């Protein structure tokens, strides 16, 4: 016969929905890492709320919070007396329950955290590339684009070869101004070409530390075009036709002892104005086909640094 009138042991945990909500929050976090920052934020909020409620529920007895008591068992005719000096301070079942849960949490963390680290961290560390020396300032005539080819990471060889379209805008105040466009189409990543005549006979090759940089001046360019799907851009990289969703990406640059150094790339939604007076709407580097502004930008996953 059940001494508690069929209600189970008084030490058994009561059913609760908090673990279910906590699990849903964890799932939303993992989905958000892939799909959207909004889903990630919702998952974090759900995990925090249901985790707090779960812990609060599990520790209710230890905190002295009153809870409904089960129906009392029948009082025996002769209640046994406690042995002299015997004091029950902490039920053995509660100790075993807490030990089991704690050990399970430790084992779960030991197994899960390394997997999450190896899965999620690599895209966020050791990214980027060193500054690329593409030539002296005088190697780039004012108001003309120069097709410049270089190795982004020389230790990786030809697979890291990139092309940039560089135009010397003259001076902005006392500092040189350059427009440096990536040739990666922001539709699907195809190589964009100059809508103009490359002056191949004026090609220059400069070798520094065993790494070659090629520069080919162009005649007056009318913009840029993608041969794959017909995307068109003006001379500032703004989309003018076709499927691209934003302007061409650009390179940051640095002038060091009269040399032009290319730094990291960034994305651009649009450019107002031209040349040295252009107003660039700058964003962190995004992938081809990805919006960087407006409501559409909320639908894309977190981008690792590049």
Tell me the pLDDT tens digit for each residue of 70-101: 666 666 555 555 555 555 566 777 777 777 77
At 254-279, the pLDDT tens digits run 999 999 999 999 999 999 998 889 99
pLDDT in tens, 279-289: 999 998 888 98
In this prediction, residue 21 carries a pLDDT of: 78
Task: Output the DSSP codes for 18-72.
Answer: HHHHHHHHHHHHHHHHHS-HHHHHHHHHHHHHHHHHHHHHHTTTTTT---PPPPP
Mean pLDDT of 57-78: 64
**Inter-axis angle of helices 37-58 and 18-34, to 10 degrees?**
160
């Amino acid at each position: 016969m059940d001494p508690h009138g069929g209600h189970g042991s008084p030490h058994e945990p009561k059913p609760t929905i908090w673990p279910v909500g906590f699990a849903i929050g964890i799932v939303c976090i993992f989905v958000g890492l892939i799909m959207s920052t909004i889903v990630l934020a919702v998952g974090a909020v759900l995990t925090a709320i249901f985790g707090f409620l779960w812990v609060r529920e599990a520790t209710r007895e230890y905190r002295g919070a009153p809870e409904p008591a089960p129906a009392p068992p029948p009082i025996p005719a002769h209640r046994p007396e406690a042995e002299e000096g015997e004091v029950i301070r902490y039920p053995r079942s509660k100790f075993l329950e807490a030990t089991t849960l704690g050990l399970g949490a430790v084992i779960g963390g030991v197994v899960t955290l390394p997997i999450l680290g190896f899965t999620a961290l690599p895209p966020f560390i050791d990214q980027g590339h060193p500054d690329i020396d593409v030539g002296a300032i005088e190697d780039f005539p004012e108001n003309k684009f120069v097709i410049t080819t270089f190795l982004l990471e020389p230790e990786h060889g030809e697979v890291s070869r990139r092309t940039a379209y560089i135009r010397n805008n003259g001076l902005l105040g006392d500092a040189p101004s350059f427009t440096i466009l990536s040739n990666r189409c922001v539709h699907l990543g195809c190589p964009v070409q100059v809508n103009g005549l490359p002056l191949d006979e004026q090609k220059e090759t400069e070798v520094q530390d065993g790494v070659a940089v090629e520069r080919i001046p162009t005649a007056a360019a009318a913009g840029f075009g993608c041969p794959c799907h017909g995307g068109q851009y003006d001379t500032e990289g703004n989309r003018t036709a076709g499927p691209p969703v934003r302007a061409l990406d650009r390179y940051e640059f640095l002038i060091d002892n009269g040399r032009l150094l290319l730094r990291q790339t960034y994305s651009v939604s649009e450019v107002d104005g031209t040349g040295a007076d252009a107003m660039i709407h700058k964003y962190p580097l995004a992938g081809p086909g990805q919006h960087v502004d407006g409501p559409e930008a909320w639908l894309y996953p977190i981008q690792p640094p590049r």
